[in-house]
Structure 1
């Protein structure tokens, strides 16, 4: 890689603040990396010609030395408005008219000094856990024959390939954590209310915006900016020790005070009939032993998932898509999307959204999280599908492939609790392994503390070593 591409966001921002690099130099290096690699991983739908001029604007800001993300290149998932660019949401049915204003999360990143270098591929309407469609296919940089996951697959591919240090995505059923797990990244789904949503119906309140990053420090920095947390000396804190000096509002914090958490470990699938594969369970078990050895109290304990969970989540998943598809020409939607929306409309007519499923689920889960600070699970249950035109395949094939791969993520969207996927170990295939951490409401920084501890104990290679052929180096 070039001088600046491949550095962390914390490192890049510090270099710009210290005038060791200009925002233009940093952005130009990353644009060169995108030109070299994007054709092999399919991360970006749009690479922004305006990025260099916007980098110059950041470099001229009088507050440059105080910007947490000074000159840091960032990628934005293509379902969030970016001023001057169309928001296609992976579809031929969406408008080509450029957005007049940035989404609030994009505006916060820009205010912090970040430079938007492009918009990343998503599956149509962000429905499925593979990122492919009429605009392109996002591939896993560690093995381009495999999917990058979805629906934030393009954003994950961009970070894992070293095209940007951080990227913005969102998560309605695991759409940050699934691609993070496939691509060896940290993906944080914040809890309800921590980051403004302002995006359609948000799948009945299940969807949240959050960061994809290669380190816990980068994920913390980006989360803090997105959440609008008081900056203070945030930039200096993060450059120093990665702690950020942030306390969680309203979250019990005995673990933060003592450094010792009570952690539940479970490999039980929330969806009846779907099992976690042995390799994925083994890595999570190894992570549990690592945390136990670090002084945490770890016990095997299974959340009381309701037997009806699979049906509830399917109804909300399809119903959310039915809302998003309103006003779009169905003739321009892929068959799998049309059927998904049709099932969602039927679920609505059957009254399946009248029950407050979030309240019912949390009534079951609250006693569990009163006993345990954090839940540790595998992030995935099976390998991701091969990269390809899944949007041309049938609805049932897509749903079955998604459910078999990633049953562990949806409960935390419905419950509204924060959840984080992070790299841990290596699978027999050579792809990165991943585990999931789930916490109490408001415990995002506690989860990031724990991720930083695991990162220190079991560091990972941050980006995929792509050769000129586009295949991983052995």
Structure 2
């Protein structure tokens, strides 16, 4: 169901990170990320409802762009889930721009849709972005511990942006002090419940502990317990949060944060089969404190593989743009890729 920032299903066992097979490739699009990082494929489809493009990109040393809400249609079968969007995991900015051009567009009847860009994203990615105002922040919308390696990597990304002519300033984030986890979790649980119900209709199988993992079952039951007025209230709270957040980009072109709070975790650190699903879900948020907020606001965001830890694990830089600013994110991403090329980095466990 694409729930967690790890990919460790009971049936098949953990998907392994080519950079360290004892660690997660991220999730929920961890299989896509592992395949691209290992050299099995150059590009893979992914989707992002709470970070599931950007998290695997950060874990596996890839480019992961979450498009704006409505940029890519969910037609013909899926409705507007508010939080989720499709996208791709790639090794380069060129591939990310090309895939966004291929996937973008809306269908008649879509609940939300983004207006087409002024030019193809492949062209926009090659334009000079000019001197940009970049807000650097380490503020988190939930309480979590930041690994020192990730702080160093993010400050290094800020220095690289400054060397390219951009103005970077450390600021307080607009989401500082916001505790979104309870409201986000309520909306997330209803979407999981809807997905399980859809699976039940397709397969004719009743959901139970025999065919659904404990954390998924917990979210399904939680979602089923939420009444319609509670759901509507949760949507209203998140939309009010989004309005307050997006206005921050009136003064800044981009916001820079770490992609994750820690390098990719070891298998089992976040356990979908754990005895306390609520605790495992909380640990997921602590690993990925910056990603889900942009699913709430609908803004585009990208994780770029600018750094590695001392033991060779990928560390991502997370850039967040204003609504519809994918072209700017790609243009800045190209600047950074040219300044610090990453596409030729090969993990120690390539496909073979």
1:316 aligned partner: 187
1:364 pairs with 2:226? no
Shift of 1:208: 0.4
- What SS class does the counterpart of residue 182 from structure 1 fall into? helix
Selected match of 1:298 from 129, 149, 168: 168
Trace 1:29-428 onto structure 2 (pairs within 5 A): 125-133=1-9, 134-198=11-75, 200-201=78-79, 204-228=81-105, 244-246=122-124, 259-271=130-142, 273-305=143-175, 307-327=178-198, 328=200, 329-331=206-208, 332-348=211-227, 351-354=230-233, 355-388=235-268, 390-394=271-275, 395-428=277-310
Shift of 1:316: 1.6
1:431 pairs with 2:308? no
More relative contact order in 1 or in 2 (CA 8 Å, sep 6+)? 2
Contact 1:221 1:244 (C-alpha < 8 Å) held by counterparts: yes
Shift of 1:390: 3.0
Shift of 1:370: 0.3
Contact 2:133 2:166 (C-alpha < 8 Å) held by counterparts: yes
| CA–CA separation in structure 2 for the residues paired with 1:309 and 1:302 | 17
Say if 1:201 and 1:345 are closer, same or farther in 2 by CA, change over 3 A: farther
2:203 aligned partner: none
Say if 1:468 and 1:289 are closer, same or farther in 2 by CA, change over 3 A: closer
Say if 1:469 and 1:171 are closer, same or farther in 2 by CA, change over 3 A: closer
| CA–CA separation in structure 1 for the residues paired with 2:349 and 2:63 | 23
- What SS class does the counterpart of residue 353 from structure 1 fall into? helix
Shift of 1:384: 2.8
| CA–CA separation in structure 1 for the residues paired with 2:56 and 2:258 | 14
Structure 1 runs of 4+ off > 6 angstroms? none
| CA–CA separation in structure 1 for the residues paired with 2:335 and 2:245 | 26
Selected match of 1:459 from 336, 341, 350: 341
| CA–CA separation in structure 2 for the residues paired with 1:142 and 1:294 | 29
Contact 1:268 1:276 (C-alpha < 8 Å) held by counterparts: no
Say if 1:279 and 1:465 are closer, same or farther in 2 by CA, change over 3 A: closer
Say if 1:345 and 1:433 are closer, same or farther in 2 by CA, change over 3 A: same
1:253 aligned partner: none
Cα RMSD of the aligned pairs, angstroms, is 2.6
TM-score normalised to the size of structure 1?
Answer: 0.64
| CA–CA separation in structure 2 for the residues paired with 1:469 and 1:160 | 9
Say if 1:214 and 1:345 are closer, same or farther in 2 by CA, change over 3 A: same
Shift of 1:283: 0.7
Say if 1:258 and 1:163 are closer, same or farther in 2 by CA, change over 3 A: closer
TM-score normalised to the size of structure 2?
Answer: 0.86
Contact 2:124 2:330 (C-alpha < 8 Å) held by counterparts: no
- Which runs of 5 or more structure 1 residues have no equivalent in the other structure? 1-124, 235-242, 248-255
| CA–CA separation in structure 1 for the residues paired with 2:215 and 2:288 | 19
Contact 2:72 2:103 (C-alpha < 8 Å) held by counterparts: yes
Contact 1:334 1:392 (C-alpha < 8 Å) held by counterparts: yes
Shift of 1:393: 1.9
Contact 1:148 1:156 (C-alpha < 8 Å) held by counterparts: yes
Say if 1:138 and 1:258 are closer, same or farther in 2 by CA, change over 3 A: closer
* Matched length: 328
Say if 1:344 and 1:384 are closer, same or farther in 2 by CA, change over 3 A: farther
Residue range with higher mean Cα deviation, 343-352 or 409-418: 343-352
| CA–CA separation in structure 1 for the residues paired with 2:341 and 2:266 | 27
| CA–CA separation in structure 2 for the residues paired with 1:436 and 1:409 | 9
Say if 1:137 and 1:296 are closer, same or farther in 2 by CA, change over 3 A: same
